[in-house]
Amino acid sequence: MPLVSIVMGSDSDLPVMNKAADILDKLGISYEMNIISAHREPDEFFEYARSCEDSGIKVIIAGAGMAAHLPGMCAAIFPMPVIGVPLSGSVLDGEDALYSILQMPPGIPVATVAINGGANAGLLAARILSVSDSNILKALKDYKASLKDQVVAKNNKLKEVGRKEYTK
């Protein structure tokens, strides 16, 4: 049964939202992924958002560009955490989406990550879930340790081959 729902308004959002799924895969967290539009199919969207709690979803990660209504609309209906991922659009490079997601009215919070921050959205969802799941907490600690190992390995390589060879 999925704990996280990853939603986006268009398949063009998939490259960024896949980064959230990749993190959840690494951490062993079950999820579902859907393309659903609050604007183009409002009836289906409302049905989806209302059903999430009963289906066992604990966190929604919602990616949106431009007007960025999907995360806020999810938060208006779903009572548990929603993480908004502002997506870079063609006109304002995601700043419009970022501001739309950040400026939610009082009472309807949406956690927000950086523009195109799918990976951090996955990590934030995992951190939220880790509060009540020691297996997820352990997976997060292991992941963080692997980040340190990567930096150490990169530094060792830089020292070994030098800056010019490293950047080739």
What is the spatial distance between Cα 40 and Cα 63, in angstroms, rounded to a whole number? Answer: 15
pLDDT at position 91 is 77
CA dist list (Å): 124 to 47, 91, 114, 121, 161: 25, 28, 12, 5, 36
CA dist list (Å): 138 to 25, 27, 106: 14, 9, 34
Whether residues 146 and 126 fall in one domain: no
Whether residues 46 and 78 fall in one domain: yes
What is the spatial distance between Cα 76 and Cα 60, in angstroms, rounded to a whole number? Answer: 12
Mutual angle of helices 118-130 and 134-161, in 10-degree steps: 140
pLDDT at position 23 is 98
Whether residues 52 and 128 fall in one domain: yes
pLDDT at position 106 is 95
CATH of the domain at 126: 3.40.50.1970
Number of separate domains in the chain:
2
pLDDT at position 65 is 87
The predicted model scores a pTM of 0.93
Q: What does the pLDDT profile of the chain (168 residues) look like in tens digits?
A: 999 999 999 999 999 999 999 999 999 999 999 999 988 999 999 999 999 999 999 999 999 988 788 999 999 999 999 999 999 987 789 999 999 999 999 999 999 999 999 999 999 999 999 999 999 999 999 999 999 999 999 999 999 999 999 998
pLDDT at position 80 is 97
Whether residues 114 and 162 fall in one domain: no
pLDDT at position 28 is 98
What is the spatial distance between Cα 70 and Cα 7, in angstroms, rounded to a whole number? Answer: 8
Both structure tokens of 148: 């340190």
pLDDT at position 83 is 98
Whether residues 122 and 140 fall in one domain: no
Whether residues 127 and 69 fall in one domain: yes
pLDDT at position 39 is 87
pLDDT at position 16 is 97
pLDDT at position 10 is 92
